[in-house]
Amino acid sequence: MSLTRADFDNPTVLNAANPSAYGYHHGPIPNNNPGYREPLRAAAIDAGTRPLPNVTPAQNNGPYWGQDSAKHMLNMSTLAAPIAGVRLSTINTGVCDIDVNAGQMCGQVFTAQPSKLRHIRNDHTGALLNPSTVNVTGPVQVAGENAIKRFVVTGGWRDARYLSEPGTGPTNGRLDLYATACERIARNDPEFAAMFGTQFHRRPIDAVSLSGKRKRGPTPPPFNPLPDQDKDRDDSPPKPPSPSAGRKSRGTPKKSTGTTGSRPSRPRASKPTEDVTFPKLV
């Protein structure tokens, strides 16, 4: 089904909450335990141990949702993160939107929810509560999709700051789908374009500077290992010959071989030999 203007330009989408009653659907997602490292994984990192152990849900911050009080207390007794994390909705962008630096988010992209949650447990331990294993219900999906639509149509996704540039997000994910639809609608609907703009995917030029990475400067000159030998060399392109210049020399003429049309060379006369007579001895 093709998305239309009505799917984005409506009060439900434009007033969608993030976080909703079901958690965060997109970022920035605050980290209540910035810099916290789970002790076992931190020790392995410091010792250079490979492969690194994954942080388990029990070692992460917060209990499983919907568990009974006994399991809740068991989980809480194994936690080390000092402050409870926040809740991530099961309907989210597929991009790691954990805030890592005053509004700048992580930016790693995942096509599978388990991989994303494992990454957050390992690299942003304590940021999230452990998610529920219950199936997604209709209200959760509607709330999540509306929040992500608002994030895209109002330019939040386009202008968001990331440490690692996420590009278009997960292939064929909600971010990619919604941004492509909004750009198509804007091309055909001047009123929509006037209200929301014409670009909804991330800006390819600004994305580099927004990601916190250094811009590449001008290309340096080629390295010369022996600069003293070439300091007087003129690398400027040769000038074209002037019209008044004569024809170039054809080189040293070849010696005559006595062929037709050439004057034969005369052999040099040799000096005659004089006869010398010696007197006889008496």
pLDDT tens for each residue of the chain, 282 residues long: 699 999 999 999 999 999 999 999 999 999 998 888 888 888 888 888 889 989 887 777 644 444 444 444 444 444 557 788 899 999 999 999 999 999 999 999 999 999 999 999 999 998 998 877 667 789 999 999 999 999 999 999 999 999 999 999 999 999 999 999 999 999 999 999 999 999 999 987 544 444 444 333 333 334 333 334 344 444 455 555 555 555 554 555 555 454 445 555 555 555 555 554 544 554
List helix spans (H) across 168-252: 174-188, 190-196, 206-210
Are 55 and 125 spatial neighbours (Cβ–Cβ below 8 Å)? yes
Containing 46, the helix (H) or strand (E) segment is helix 39-47
- Note the pLDDT of residue 257: 52
Q: What is the pLDDT of residue 65?
A: 41
Residue 95 falls inside a structural domain: yes
CA distances from 202 to 23, 158, 260 (A): 24, 4, 82
Q: Is 47 within a domain? A: no
Domain-located, residue 101: yes
- Look up the domain containing 20 and give its range: 5-32+87-210
Does residue 191 sit within a domain?
yes
Q: What is the pLDDT of residue 207?
A: 43
Is residue 169 a contact partner of residue 115, using CB atoms and an 8 Å limit? Answer: no
Side chain identity at 114, as an amino acid letter? P
Report pLDDT for 100.
96
What span, in angstroms and rounded, lies between the C-alpha atoms of 233 and 183? Answer: 55
Q: Helices (H), strands (E): how many in the chain?
A: 9, 2
Residue 61 lies in a domain: no
The confidence score (pLDDT) of residue 102 equals 92
Please give the sequence-ordered ranges of beta strands (E in DSSP) within the chain, or none if there are none: 99-101, 104-105
- Distance, in Å, from the CA atom of 186 to the CA atom of 194, rounded to the nearest integer, reads 8
- Which residues have C-beta within 8 Å of that of residue 116, sequence separation ≥ 6? 94, 96, 110
- Asked, for residue 106, whether it belongs to a domain, the answer is yes
What is the rounded CA–CA span in Å between residue 141 and residue 144? 5
Domain membership of residue 172 (yes or no) is yes
The tally of domains found in the chain comes to: 1
- List 23's β-bridge partners, or say none: 20
The pLDDT value given to residue 220: 37
- The C-alpha atoms of residue 234 and residue 242 are separated, in whole angstroms, by 20
CA–CA distance, 90 with 22 (Å, rounded to integer): 8
Query: Nearest to residue 25, comparing CAs of 135, 105, 116, 141?
Result: 141
Contacts of residue 154, Cβ cutoff 8 Å, sequence gap at least 6: 14, 196
Residue 161 domain flag: yes
